[in-house]
Amino acid sequence: MNENPRLHIPATRIRITYVIIIVILLVFIGRLFSLQIIQGEAYREIADENRFDEVSLPAQRGVIYDRNDFQLVRNIPEYRIMVTPALLPDSKAEQELIYKRISDLTGVPLDQEGPPAAPCVPGRGVLQLVDEGLTNRPFDAWPIACDVDETVARVLREEQIDLPGVSVIAVPVRDYTTGELTAATIGYLGPIPAGLADYYEEQGFLKERDKIGYAGIEVGFLGMYQEILAGQNGLKLVERDVAGQYLRDVGTFTQPIPGNNMRLTIDTRLQAAAETALRNRMDFINRYYGEERTPLGVVIAMNPQTGEILAMVSLPTYENNRFARFIPQDYYQQLEDDTRGSPLTNHAIASEFPPGSTFKMVTAIGALNEEVITPSRTLFDPGKITIENKYFPQDPGKAKDFVCWNRDGHGDVDFVHGIAWSCNVYFYKIGGGYPGEIEDGGLGVTGINKYAPALGYGAPLGIDLPGEEDGLIPDEDWKRINLGENWSTGDTYNTVVGQGFVAATPLQVLTSIATLANGGRVMWPHIVDEILDGEGNIIQSYEPCVLWDIGDGVLTPLEEIGENCPTMPPELRDLVQNSRSESPDVLVDPAVIEFAQTGMLLVVTDPDGTAHGRADLDTISSAGKTGTGEFCDKVVYQQGLCKPGEWPTHSWYVAYAPFENPEIAVIAFVYYGGEGAVTSGPIVRQVLEAYFEIKSIDAARAQ
């Protein structure tokens, strides 16, 4: 046979075809090599991200006890009815029956349009909530009804076999057993703010689920107690299909670490007594005047030897249990709108007021220690003195009258009776000078700015709660910078009696008197006593800490506070150090402190003492100082009450007992409460009586 030339394939074409095939194979092999070898790990990670899901396991938050192990904060189960949209029956009729059953049992409307909101916030119907879950995560359980009754939860759990897609879960929520009694101190939880989401997500928190402390001990200063109470969330890896349905667990779990517990220095029984005494007195004033004359008040009880806060009451307050599940917008707005009472503010540490005559103890120890006056020397109080109010040394000045609260005058007044009678003129003279009696300007504003910080005024004391204010001790530079005016002689006279520009928190006023009561030691005030693990073992104990001692003859540099206070949290130590430019450069003769103590004893025991008959105890000695602080804020100004010589006044009284060996110091402050002894004196007396009665009961039980 002859070859057909048309069937002959040239060798060149065959070789070209082989080359093309080889090139294609090499391309495929190269691509496979690139995908599986070179980029294999990257694509495997992408596939795993689609296939695997990290599930956060919530940690149990630590609980809080008072000093007697009474549980102030606990975790209780909240029952939630959940629906997994993807697991619902296909039949619309069956779905409707399920929705109706849930609605009938829980009270959630079947069909109610409402704006999108966080889970558990009311305002939407079952249909809308299921649609949200179907749109967002169809294979995840979606909350339909929260905080349902336990009986309802049990019924639905029994019926789950007939209600596909429906489940019942229990989640822990905070229960504040004492509610508004301790709300200002304990605080509350809230959702993670958007601005802090990245920070907390890095720590393993879920923004849409977890809560953080918003106030009080639940957060602590700079969030330091939030970290202790919150613990550490766990983690597990699960596999899901392309639709997001759970298939199986993968790998090992990282178990959640529960938060640590806390034991506070607060005595709930004394807290209740203090709150009752303050509330009753405020209610009496408001009823007497037929208006809400006094919208707020404070009581603090402290152990002056240790700085432990035994009770801290701030009124008005709020019910923190209402924030346990979610923060109701209407209730929160109601609290925010109360600008006069400011219930969300802990007025014990975060509000500043003119301290009035309680501040005279600064002038007293300063003038006596600087030998401006001697204990036995008397100055005459005619009830009113007139000075030349000068703004600079060569200023001829204008005559200005300064009066004593006793317009008839106290006559001849020595040091201890100046304190006992709270004689304004006596303190004007030793604090600001008076021609012919006290020359060279007396203690002066420079002396005030030396001794006031030494007693705890003018800067935070480092209490372990958020929001502590620093108060104000003014001087010439402050007035020139802030008001654009020179300091005047009258400014000094006002300052030495705690008026004018002086401002202090109730905690600072209490600390100043507690410092004199214990002999000169400025103690670190604190609320938390111990950090405990889940078994009740002590992890950290906050020991009593002397910030500085004005009576021991040794100056304490600020940088040595850490050495003197090893258990004081470093965040608070830094606050105390950084808020002061230098250490209180004051050494007070112990005899000066003893004279000051004697003067405060006479406040109670002298027949003409300002608290005699109103704040003295029957069987236990006490000492104290009254204060009536003149003020003029926006509210009373609009009412036309800011009249020279007739200013409205805040009421103060601070005392300690027993006088010989103080165990407790108590301060009461009542906004627009009038005379200190009349309004605040009985409050402090009742708190002191309650303290010693509780002490007797405890001693009897211990026998």
Q: How many CB atoms lie within 10 A of CB 406?
A: 17
Question: 302 - beta bridge partners?
Answer: 309, 665
- Which amino acid appears at position 525 of this protein? P
pLDDT at 544 over 70: yes
Residue 404: closest CA among 424, 431, 419: 424
What backbone phi and psi angles, to 5 degrees, belong to 518?
-95, 5
pLDDT at 394 over 80: no
Q: Give residue-wise pLDDT tens across range 635-650.
A: 888 888 888 778 999 9
Q: Is 367 helix (H, G, I), strand (E, B) or coil?
A: helix
Q: How far apart are CA 387 and CA 145, in angstroms?
A: 72
Cα angle 474, 477, 482 (rounded to 5 degrees) comes to: 75
What backbone phi and psi angles, to 5 degrees, belong to 472?
-150, 125
Question: 336 - beta bridge partners?
Answer: none
Q: Is 166 helix (H, G, I), strand (E, B) or coil?
A: strand
Q: Give residue-wise pLDDT tens across range 434-466.
A: 999 998 899 999 999 999 999 999 999 999 999
Characterize 42-76 residue by residue with b for buried, 16 or more Cβ atoms within 10 angstroms of its Cβ, and e for exposed: eeeeeeeeeeeeeebebbebbbbbbbeeeebbebe
* Burial environment of residue 440 by CB neighbours within 10 A (0 to 12, 13 to 18, 19 or more): exposed
Q: Give residue-wise pLDDT tens across range 71-117.
A: 999 999 999 999 999 889 989 999 899 999 999 999 999 988 878 77
Residue 388: per-residue pLDDT? 85
Residue 1: per-residue pLDDT? 46
Residue 153: closest CA among 133, 129, 170, 173: 170
Residue 631: per-residue pLDDT? 93
What average pLDDT does range 537-556 have in this prediction? 91
Q: How far apart are CA 693 and CA 620, in angstroms?
A: 11
Range list of H helices, 107-190 = 126-136, 150-158, 183-186
DSSP-derived secondary structure for 198-248: HHHHHTT--TTT-EEE-SGGGT-GGGHHHHHHH-B-EEEEEEE-TT--EEE
Residue 15: per-residue pLDDT? 83
What average pLDDT does range 593-606 have in this prediction? 98
Q: Which residue has the tokens 């529960």?
A: 258
Q: How far apart are CA 119 and CA 262, in angstroms?
A: 30
What are the residues whose beta carbons fall under 8 Å from the beta carbon of 60, sequence distance 6 or more? 75, 172, 231, 256, 258, 259
Q: Which residue has the tokens 């700015």?
A: 449
What are the residues whose beta carbons fall under 8 Å from the beta carbon of 14, sequence distance 6 or more? none
Residue 18: per-residue pLDDT? 84
Q: Is 544 helix (H, G, I), strand (E, B) or coil?
A: coil
Instruction: Record the tokens describing residue 484, joined without a space.
Output: 């654009």
Q: How far is the CA of 399 from the CAs of 384, 390, 436, 655, in angstroms?
A: 12, 9, 17, 37
Residue 138 near residue 86 (C-beta atoms within 8 A): yes
Q: Give residue-wise pLDDT tens across range 381-390.
A: 999 999 988 8
Q: How far is the CA of 337 from the CAs of 191, 298, 344, 509, in angstroms?
A: 21, 20, 11, 29
Would strands 546-549 and 234-240 be described as parallel, antiparallel, or unpaired?
Answer: unpaired
Question: 628 - beta bridge partners?
Answer: 651
Q: Give residue-wise pLDDT tens across range 13-72.
A: 888 888 888 889 888 888 888 777 887 777 776 666 666 667 778 899 999 999 999 999
Residue 73: per-residue pLDDT? 97
What average pLDDT does range 369-373 have in this prediction? 97
Q: Give residue-wise pLDDT tens across range 157-193.
A: 999 888 998 999 998 999 999 999 999 999 999 999 9
Residue 58 near residue 209 (C-beta atoms within 8 A): yes
Q: How far apart are CA 157 and CA 169, in angstroms?
A: 9
Residue 676 near residue 651 (C-beta atoms within 8 A): yes
Q: Give residue-wise pLDDT tens across range 246-289.
A: 567 677 778 889 999 999 999 999 999 999 999 999 999 999 99
